[in-house]
Amino acid sequence: MSSHAKKTAKLSLKRLLLANPWGFIIPVITGIAATLAGVALLGVSGWFISAAGLATAMGVALVFNYLTPGAIVRGLAILRTAGRYGEQVTSHNHLLGLLRILRLWVWDQRVANDAANLHQQSRGDLLQRLVSDLDQIIRWPLVVFLPWIYALLSYVAVSIFAYFISPTLLMPLGVAALLHIVLVPYLCGRFASHEVHVGQILGVHRRSRFVSFFSALITLTIRGRWEDYAQRLGQLDERQRKTEIRIQQAVSLGRLLSYCVTIFLLACSFYLLAQADDTTGRWALIAGVQGTWVVGFVLSILAVNELVLPLVQSFVAQGQSQVGLRRLNQLHQDEQAASEQPINRIEQLTFKQWRGYHAPSGMGSPATDIKIKQGEFVWIRGASGSGKSTLLASIAGDCLSSGDAFINDEQYPIYNNPRYQAKLSYLPQAPYIFQQSIAANLHLGNPNASDEELWAVLEAVALGDWARSLPNGLETLLSPQGRNLSGGQRKRLALARLLLRRSPVLLLDEPFDGLDKATIETICHSLENDYKPDILILVSHVGSRIGDNSRVIEL
């Protein structure tokens, strides 16, 4: 699979989790260390406190070793604190990398999308939704994946501890682990998964409706309809409130069930570790089981209980991440296999009932028939608003079109087709100048062009004297979008960039707008001699020598 295909493949939580595995392993290891240290801290502390109290009651406090258990408790406390800080630092570093991957993925989808449909990905509500979706997805490893790992490993550690106390404790521990880690979160998720998805969608819908309400408040007030609109907003708020209540009910129910499982586990453990004395009728620990270890075991179970409680709420984050992932994947554009044959040479362009138009208005040029042979120059003329620029953009494959296009008498799809667009250069009415040097802007047309070639093409568009007058010459830095240039200079600099490409087909939209006669004459001379293309299609309301020598198409 190519690197571009990997970049634009659909997202999945598994793919995101494995996007930077080594960066994720470090927070997992530190988190596991902190979790096990926290469980062990409660267990050892419980044993230490009960053992110290027992030693005092038995009168052997003077010979009891306080230092070693105290050092262990202190060490575990330091390890737990340091592990938590280390987990936070390393996990946030991983999340920043994950955010970078997601942002680049979204950008790849925009690049892969049709240029005419990019307006659909630029609306304010969509951009707000993207921010929300990205935020939900990058939280998934921390609030969904890692809590399961911590809960599972803590049960494993407690089970090893319980084995040395009494192997009979392994059975209730296994049942409790199954209930805590699998069954209770699954039941809560089944109960409220629909509400989680609906709540996410309602949140976005509610936000967009509120924005629409405030932007249209004056109009609604004048027409006396704002109360009706406000009532619908109130209904939307009520629906979302009920959804949130059902989600919280599921979370509360899950936490209650988790506490019940913990109480059940403790009750079973006491039942297995104690027995009734037939003579006194009192319950006492069975032979071989020390009370201090039982206290440590009980506190360890309580520590595990605190680790399994987040699992109940993780299904909410899981559902939110899935919704965000599904909505992000709506931006995905399935790559189509390019079945078109490569274009070796364009000898003739034919357009039948060809019409260019813009989405979503559908406005554009009238349907027309055009046939252009190699060596021809064509001047498209017409009244203002007749669709000349739209027609030229459609011929460039830069906007939507209807009709049939033929290259060398073979029908060929040209819209957004890189194989076709690699054979032509298109100068729109408002070309883009980048915030780079003059040389860097020109090198976009030909990265291998020498300084002599750059000066030659600047002379061809009558910018040579201007560039030489600048203190830094070709290395002069231009402002964003070329704001420190005049409109004519921007247009000519973009034209020079295109001429360096030496494309066989050249499409020019109003190249002479705002230029004097001498400059127009210089450009015409260059296009007819040193930089002459095989086919030139010109849209211009300004007369020129090229236009006078071209075949005219009236719209």
* Tens digits of residue pLDDT in 228-273: 656 666 777 777 788 888 888 888 888 899 999 999 999 998 888 8
Query: How far is residue 70's CA from residue 525's CA, in Å, rounded to a whole number?
Result: 92
Is residue 2 predicted with pLDDT exceeding 50? no
What residue type is 512 in one-letter code? F
Is residue 486 predicted with pLDDT exceeding 60? yes
pTM over 0.75: no
The torsion region of residue 224 among left (phi > 0), alpha (psi -120 to 50) and beta comes to: left
Region 223-229 average pLDDT: 55
Is residue 456 predicted with pLDDT exceeding 80? yes
| % of residues, the chain, pLDDT over 70 | 75
Is residue 332 predicted with pLDDT exceeding 60? no
Residue count of the chain, please give it: 555
281 pLDDT band, cuts 50/70/90, is: low
Is residue 211 predicted with pLDDT exceeding 70? no
Is residue 501 predicted with pLDDT exceeding 80? yes
Q: What is the mean pLDDT of the chain?
A: 79
Dihedral over alpha carbons 2, 5, 7, 11 (to 10 degrees): -130
Per DSSP, which regions of 105-221 are E strands? none
Is residue 375 predicted with pLDDT exceeding 70? yes
DSSP state of 139: T
170 pLDDT band, cuts 50/70/90, is: very high
The strand pairing partners of 401, in sequence order, are 356
Q: 88-100 burial, b if ≥16 CB within 10 A, otherwise e?
A: eebbeebbeebee
The gap between the terminal CA atoms of the chain, to the nearest Å, is 47
**CA-angle at 93, arms to 90 and 97, nearest 5°:** 140
Is residue 149 predicted with pLDDT exceeding 60? yes
Would you say 10 and 105 are in contact if contact means Cβ atoms under 8 Å apart? no
Query: How far is residue 48's CA from residue 125's CA, in Å, rounded to a whole number?
Result: 58
| pLDDT value of position 4 | 44
Is residue 475 predicted with pLDDT exceeding 50? yes
Would you say 300 and 159 are in contact if contact means Cβ atoms under 8 Å apart? no
Is residue 458 predicted with pLDDT exceeding 90? yes
* Token pair listed for 283: 């319950």
Q: Give Dmax over CA atoms of the chain in angstroms.
A: 123
The predicted-structure confidence for 5-37, as pLDDT tens digits, reads as follows 444 466 666 666 666 777 778 888 888 888 888
Is residue 292 predicted with pLDDT exceeding 70? yes
197 pLDDT band, cuts 50/70/90, is: low
| pLDDT value of position 222 | 47
Is residue 224 predicted with pLDDT exceeding 60? no
Domains in the chain, start-ordered, CATH in brackets? 3-111+123-329 (1.20.1560.10), 348-554 (3.40.50.300)
Most confident of the following: 11-15, 125-129, 132-136, 273-277: 273-277
* Secondary structure of residue 380 in the 3-state scheme: strand
Q: How far is CA 285 from the centre of its chain?
A: 58
377 pLDDT band, cuts 50/70/90, is: very high
